[in-house]
Amino acid sequence: MPAHNETILIVEKTLPHERLDTFLRSQFPTISRGAIQRLMEQGDIRVDGNPAKATHHPRAGEKIEIHWPAARPATAQPQELPLDILFEDDDLLVLNKPPGMVVHPSAGHEASTLVNALLHHCAGQLSGIGGVARPGIVHRLDKETSGCLVVAKNDPTHLALSAQFAGREVEKVYHAIACGMVTPEKGDIHAAIARHPTHRKRMAVTDGCGREAWTSYCVLERLRAATLVEALPHTGRTHQVRVHFKHLGFPLVGDATYGNRQNKRLTELTDYAAPRQMLHANKLAFQDPRTGRRMSFEAAWPEDFKEAARVLR
C-alpha cells in the first residue's frame, strides 16, 4: 500500500502527443504545472522506478509514483502587487481578482498570491481567523477565475461575512462562456457534487452521495459554437459552476479539466483556443456587517474574457 503522501497511477493508454507534465496536470488540476515540474526536478515523481522527465510521453501500463512532500506552514510575506480595488473601508475590501492569481499561498505557490498582496496593502490589518496561510480570506475563487472577491480586515467582519455565505445570503453572479448552444434558455441545475471517485483533485456530479448543489442560469448571448451565460450559484461547492455546466453537456470554454474534448472541437470550428476557463465573478452583493445596509459590487470583464466574447461573436 502506498503511504498517505504518495500517489500511484497506472497509465491507461499511450499518449504519443502529450507530455508527462501536461498529463499529470490533467490528473491533478489544482496542482500547477510548475509545481509538477519542481517535483520532477526533486526526484519526487518516478516512472517505472526511474526519475521522470517533463517531456516523457506516457505509455500504457507505466506506473507513475508521486511523492508529495510534507506541507510546510505557509507564513506569507507581504509583496507589493497591483490590486484592482472596487471598495475599501476599515472593515473590508472588495476587489476584482485578475485571472491567473492564486488566492492564498500553498505548496508551489508561496509568493505572488492575493494574500501576499493583501499583507502589503493592509499592513497588519487583516482578520486572523483564516490562520497564517489565509488571513482575511472569507471565500475564494479558482486561480484562473476572475472577478469580485471580498476580504475581511478584522475578526468580527470575517465571522459576519462567513455567516452570510453559510446562510446563502450572499448574492453571487457569474458570467461564463460555455461550449456549444446551451439549452434551454434558462434553468436550474440541481445536482449534488462530490470528489471524483478516481481523480481526487476533480469534482463530479454524483448519484446518491455528495453535497447538495444548485445553480440557476440564463443565456445572455448566442456566439459561434458557444454561449455567453449568466450563472447564480445558490450553494458554494468547489468548482460548482464548472461542474454543473459540464453536467449539462456544455463545459466552459477553456476548461481543460472538465471540457477537454468539447474545447478541442470548439478550436477546430472557430480557430479560437482560450487561455483559461472563461468564468468571471461579475457581481457580489451582501449586507454590510457594521451598518446592515445592502452592498453590491460589479467587476469589469478582464481583457481575455472580452477577447473571447469578441472573437466568438
Q: Which residues are catalytic?
A: 142
Q: Taking the chain, what is the end-to-end CA distance rounded to the nearest angstrom? A: 52
For strand 146-152 and strand 171-179, is the pairing parallel, antiparallel, or unpaired?
Answer: unpaired
Give the contacts of 303 (CB within 8 A, at least 6 positions apart): none
Nearest to 89 by CA among 157, 41, 186: 157
CA 51, chain centre distance (Å) = 30
313/302 Cα distance (integer angstroms): 17
CA distance 121 to 100: 19
Question: Which residues, in sequence order, are CB contacts of 55 under 8 Å at separation 6+?
Answer: 19, 20, 21
Nearest to 42 by CA among 10, 9, 68: 68
Amino acid 285 reads: A
293/11 Cα distance (integer angstroms): 55
Residue 29 and residue 257 in contact, taking contact as beta carbons nearer than 8 Å: yes
- Longest CA pairwise span in the chain (Å): 62
100 to 19, 75, 179, 200: CA distances (angstroms): 22, 21, 21, 22
Instruction: Check: CB of residue 288 under 8 Å from CB of residue 243.
Output: no
Amino acid making up residue 267:
T
